[in-house]
């Protein structure tokens, strides 16, 4: 009897794989179930806005690999998978969500109420000093200062400046450290995202949409074309990272050289002999004299 072909599954923590699984062939029900687990709201209608891989602009080198959708015709959702920590996710996500919100107010048009805008960031690293794997941020008022208190008779005060912008951060390493069960939709989906294992298998039995996503992932993993696209993106990311590291190293070396030339100039001004300057700075005689 011929054995079933075994293949290493592509990782759902990869942004390309993540987007392809949740938007491939219009998988609205899977995405709806996933978002229900994160937002804890009933979703009656969902529309994926950018199922195709697109460029941010004409000369962009990288595809736009976030998932954008509207739910219940009143909320704009953006989901991003972040694998590497560039130490700026807080600033980057806030800049992006506020741009999504403000872009809905078209210049020159009469004012129209924008959709509530929700940014969901799934992080494959720990970032915030918070004792939770799921942090939700909104724009809230600070506590009223005693000397500025005015009794206006409000029995219940406004808590939020604006509830139209909401940001979620899900930190996968904290989730795995918590090691919960598979009781909620969010737990079921996160176990699948973290990787196929005992709890992912349990999640597939508990949730038909999780099982469907796993089947889509397996099918993708068996596709030579999908593996080529995944590998191509991974290699491109390595090249980009190597280039950034090279440019950073080049800038650092140039900075160090300029500092040495400045030191050499000061030493020349103090009539220190060339040989001593060469020994201290590591510069050649030509570099010192042609500063």
113-162 per-position pLDDT tens digit = 889 999 999 999 999 999 999 999 999 999 999 999 999 999 999 999 98
- 159-174 pLDDT, tens digit each: 999 889 999 999 999 9
* CA nearest to 30, candidates 16, 14, 19, 15: 19
**How does DSSP classify residue 108?**
T
Same domain, 50 and 136: yes
Same domain, 191 and 260: no
Same domain, 247 and 258: yes
**Rg for the chain, CA atoms, rounded:** 26
Same domain, 96 and 230: no
Domain count, the chain: 2
Same domain, 229 and 216: no
Q: Does residue 150 lie in a domain region?
A: no
Ramachandran angles phi, psi of 135, nearest 5°: -105, 140
- 184-233 pLDDT, tens digit each: 999 999 999 998 689 999 999 999 999 999 999 999 888 888 888 777 76
Same domain, 120 and 80: yes
Same domain, 213 and 232: no
Q: Does residue 5 lie in a domain region?
A: no
Strands (E), the chain: 46-48, 54-55, 63-64, 67-71, 75-82, 116-123, 134-140, 160-171
Where does a domain end: 184, 200, 222?
Answer: 222
What per-residue confidence (pLDDT) applies to 56? 46
Strands 54-55 and 63-64: what pairing? antiparallel
Same domain, 216 and 235: no
What per-residue confidence (pLDDT) applies to 245? 62
Q: Does residue 250 lie in a domain region?
A: yes
Where does a domain end: 173, 195, 222?
Answer: 222
Q: What predicted TM-score, i.e. pTM, was given to this entire model?
A: 0.76
- Name the residue range of residue 245's domain: 224-291
Average pLDDT, the chain: 85
Q: Does residue 8 lie in a domain region?
A: no
Q: Is the pLDDT confidence value at 61 over 60?
A: no
Q: Does residue 127 lie in a domain region?
A: yes
Q: Does residue 45 lie in a domain region?
A: yes
Same domain, 98 and 217: yes
Distance, in Å, from the CA atom of 255 to the CA atom of 261, rounded to the nearest integer, reads 10
Q: How confident is the model at residue 1 (pLDDT cuts 50, 70, 90)?
A: very low
**CB atoms near residue 164 (< 10 Å):** 18
Where does a domain end: 177, 199, 222?
Answer: 222
CA dihedral 106, 110, 113, 116 (to 10 degrees): 0
Q: Do residues 104 and 113 touch, judged by C-beta distance below 8 A?
A: no
Q: Is the pLDDT confidence value at 59 over 70?
A: no
Same domain, 120 and 191: yes
**CB atoms near residue 98 (< 10 Å):** 14
What per-residue confidence (pLDDT) applies to 150? 95
Same domain, 214 and 230: no
Q: How far is CA 116 from CA 77, 138, 163, in A?
A: 8, 12, 8
What per-residue confidence (pLDDT) applies to 288? 81
* CA nearest to 163, candidates 97, 211, 116, 110: 116
**How does DSSP classify residue 148?**
G
- 4-32 pLDDT, tens digit each: 456 788 999 988 899 999 987 778 999 99
Q: Report which of residues 36 and 248 the model is more confident about.
A: 36
Same domain, 94 and 216: yes
Q: Does residue 233 lie in a domain region?
A: yes
SS3 264: helix
What per-residue confidence (pLDDT) applies to 176? 96
Q: Is the pLDDT confidence value at 110 over 90?
A: no
Q: Does residue 7 lie in a domain region?
A: no
Q: How confident is the model at residue 2 (pLDDT cuts 50, 70, 90)?
A: very low
Q: Cα 272 to the chain's mean position, in Å?
A: 54
């Amino acid at each position: 009897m011929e054995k079933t072909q075994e293949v290493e599954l592509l990782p759902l923590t990869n942004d390309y794989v993540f987007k392809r699984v949740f938007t491939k062939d219009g998988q609205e029900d899977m995405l709806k179930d996933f978002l229900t687990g994160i937002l804890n709201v009933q979703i009656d209608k969902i529309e994926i806005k950018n199922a195709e891989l697109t460029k941010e602009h004409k000369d962009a080198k990288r595809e736009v690999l976030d998932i954008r959708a509207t739910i219940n015709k009143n909320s704009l959702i953006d989901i991003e998978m972040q694998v590497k920590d560039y130490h700026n996710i807080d600033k980057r996500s806030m800049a992006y969500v506020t741009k999504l919100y403000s872009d809905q107010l078209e210049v020159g048009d009469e004012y129209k109420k924008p959709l509530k805008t929700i940014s969901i960031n799934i992080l494959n690293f720990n970032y915030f000093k918070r004792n939770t794997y799921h942090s939700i941020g909104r724009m809230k008022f600070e506590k009223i200062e005693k000397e500025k208190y005015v009794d206006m008779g409000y029995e219940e005060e406004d808590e939020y400046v604006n509830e139209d912008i909401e940001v979620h951060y899900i930190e996968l390493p904290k989730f795995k450290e918590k090691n919960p069960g598979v009781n909620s939709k969010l737990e079921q989906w996160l176990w699948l995202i973290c990787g196929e294992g005992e709890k992912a298998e349990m999640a597939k039995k508990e949730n038909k949409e999780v099982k469907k996503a796993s089947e889509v992932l397996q099918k993708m993993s068996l596709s030579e074309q999908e593996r080529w696209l995944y590998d191509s993106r991974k290699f491109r990311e390595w090249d980009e990272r190597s280039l950034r590291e090279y440019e950073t190293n080049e800038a650092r070396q140039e900075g160090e050289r300029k500092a040495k030339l400045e030191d050499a100039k000061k030493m020349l001004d103090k009539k220190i002999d060339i040989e001593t300057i060469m020994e201290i700075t590591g510069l050649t005689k030509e570099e010192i004299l042609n500063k």
